[in-house]
Structure 1
Amino acid sequence: MSQEKAQPAPSPFERVGEKEFGYNTKQVDVFLSRARATFNGDGDDDSIVTSHMVRRTVFPAQRGGYSAREVDGALDRLEDVFAQRERDALIQSNGEDAWLQQVGRLSAILRGRLHRSPGERFRRPSRANASSYNVQDVDKLSSQLIDYFEKDVPMSVDAVRRAEFRRAEGEHGYEESQVDAFLDRVVELMASID
Structure 2
Amino acid sequence: MVRVDSKRQIPASFERVARTDYGYNAKQVDQFLQQARVSLETPEAAARLIKSADVRSVSFDPVKGGYSAIAVDAALDRLEDAFARRERDDLIAERGEDAWLRQIGQLSGTLRGRLHRPDGERFRRPAKKKARSYNTKDVDTLCRDLIGYLEQDKPLSVDNVRRAVFRPAVGTDGYEETQVDAFLDRVVELMAAID
Question: What range describes the TM-score normalised by the shorter chain of this pair?
Answer: over 0.9
User: 2:92–2:100: 8 Å Cα contact kept in structure 1?
Assistant: yes
Q: Which amino acid aligns with 1:137?
A: D
CA deviations over 1:96-140 (Å, ceiling 9, x no partner): 000000000000000000000110000000000000000000000
Kindly name which structure, 1 or 2, has the bigger radius of gyration based on alpha carbons. Answer: 1
Separation in 1, partners of 2:35, 2:152: 39
Q: Partner residue of 1:66?
A: 67
Q: Is residue 115 from structure 1 mapped to residue 116 from structure 2 by the alignment?
A: yes
- TM-score w.r.t. the length of structure 1 is 0.93
CA deviations over 1:10-30 (Å, ceiling 9, x no partner): 952000011110000000000
User: Deviating runs (4+, > 6 A) in structure 1?
Assistant: none
Q: Partner residue of 1:76?
A: 77
Q: How many residues align?
A: 186
Secondary structure of the 1:123 match is coil
User: 2:38–2:46: 8 Å Cα contact kept in structure 1?
Assistant: no
Q: Partner residue of 1:176?
A: 177
Separation in 1, partners of 2:105, 2:19: 48
Tell me the CA shift for residue 187 of structure 1: 0.2
- Check 1:10–1:189 CA distance in 2 against 1; reply closer, same or farther (3 A cut): closer
- Check 1:150–1:21 CA distance in 2 against 1; reply closer, same or farther (3 A cut): same
CA RMSD in angstroms comes to 1.4
Separation in 2, partners of 1:39, 1:48: 8
Q: Partner residue of 1:124?
A: 125
Q: Partner residue of 2:18?
A: 17
- Check 1:136–1:21 CA distance in 2 against 1; reply closer, same or farther (3 A cut): same
Q: How does 1:137-148 map to 2 (within 5 A)?
A: 137-148=138-149
Separation in 2, partners of 1:159, 1:79: 15
User: 1:34–1:43: 8 Å Cα contact kept in structure 2?
Assistant: no
Q: Partner residue of 1:26?
A: 27
- Most deviating of 17-26 and 35-44: 35-44
Tell me the CA shift for residue 47 of structure 1: 1.9
Q: Partner residue of 2:163?
A: 162
Tell me the CA shift for residue 93 of structure 1: 0.2
- TM-score w.r.t. the length of structure 2 is 0.93
Q: Which runs of 5+ in 2 are unaligned?
A: 1-9
- Check 1:39–1:11 CA distance in 2 against 1; reply closer, same or farther (3 A cut): closer
Q: Partner residue of 1:3?
A: none
Separation in 2, partners of 1:173, 1:161: 20
Q: Which amino acid aligns with 1:57?
A: V
Secondary structure of the 1:107 match is helix
Separation in 2, partners of 1:188, 1:26: 27
User: 2:125–2:172: 8 Å Cα contact kept in structure 1?
Assistant: yes
- Most deviating of 34-43 and 53-62: 34-43
Q: Which runs of 5+ in 1 are unaligned?
A: 1-8
- Check 1:58–1:43 CA distance in 2 against 1; reply closer, same or farther (3 A cut): farther
Q: Partner residue of 2:6?
A: none
Tell me the CA shift for residue 48 of structure 1: 1.3
